[in-house]
Amino acid sequence: MRRYWISKENFSKDEIIISGDEFHHICGVCRQAQGDRFEVLNGEGFAFLVEITKCGKKDAIARILEKRDLPPIPPPFIHLLLSIPKFATFDTILEKAVELGVRELTPVVSDFSFVREVDSNKVSGKQPRWEKIIKSATEQSGRGDILKLNPVIELKDALEKFNRTPNAAGLFPYEGSSAYSMKQAVQDLLQKKPETIWVFIGSEGGFSAGEVELFQSFSLKPSTLGDQVLRVETACLTVAGILRYEIG
């Protein structure tokens, strides 16, 4: 069954109003018409079976037939802090992060990040596109909540925020040499029973030697994913997949 995202402001007690971009996508692109049924998500942990009862030129009305619970993502929650790579790569990571159950994603400015300024116009101009990617991936995966995309932050500020966050544990995958394996790092981390796991991943250039020392000053040991150097998107998906498997 088709599944779509509708803003919760468009819901009333027993029907929804489909308008704007959502109307264009559902009724224009996907050709849903009067009498058609599909599921609707609004990011609050439910899926609604609806039927279009009226379809106009600019909006449509759908009656809510059923409501079902969507299973919540179990803790510990994954918070991905990504040193900003090229935007096409960021788009891919964002989409797959939604599908893999990442709860939050924070773009980070570091020594080798594609964007070097927190207030860059390049980033602010991408926000509408990133929101569309999140909603589309939420529709596709049937996820009950919506991934939170945080504002851009400097790496040092992100680490200080991590240090102040109660019941949080950190994971620092590193492309350089390390005797500390990802397997051991994840086992040690889960033994602490954290509420949130903060995963720091570098951009195309990785992290600088100075940044590795900075991580260690916050008690985050570099852990290795193996002998091969992975692309940014591969590292993100691998680590998220390992954590989701281990969390269960």
CATH number of residue 192's parent domain? 3.40.1280.10
Residue ranges making up the domain that contains 87: 77-247
Can you say how many angstroms the Cα of residue 127 is from the centroid of all Cα atoms in its chain? 13
Q: 41 and 111: one domain?
A: no
223: which strand partners? Answer: 173
Residue that is last in its domain, among 69, 85, 113: 69
Distance CA 124, CA 47 (A): 31
pTM: 0.86
| Residue-wise DSSP of 167-188 | TEEEEEE-SS--SSBHHHHHHH
Kindly report, residue by residue over 150-171, the tens digit of the pLDDT.
999 999 999 999 999 999 999 9
Q: What is the mean pLDDT of residues 110-126?
A: 85
Better-predicted residue by pLDDT, 248 or 127: 127
Q: 61 and 115: one domain?
A: no
Tokens describing residue 45: 């942990």
Q: 148 and 117: one domain?
A: yes
Q: 94 and 38: one domain?
A: no
Q: 62 and 89: one domain?
A: no
Total of domains in the chain: 2
Helix (H, G, I), strand (E, B) or coil at 221: coil
On whether the CB atoms of residues 50 and 59 are closer than 8 A, the answer is no
On whether the CB atoms of residues 169 and 194 are closer than 8 A, the answer is yes
Kindly report, residue by residue over 30-74, the tens digit of the pLDDT.
999 999 999 998 888 889 999 999 999 999 999 999 999 988 888
> Terminus-to-terminus CA distance in the chain, angstroms?
26
Q: 190 and 142: one domain?
A: yes
Report the amino acid identity of residue 12. S
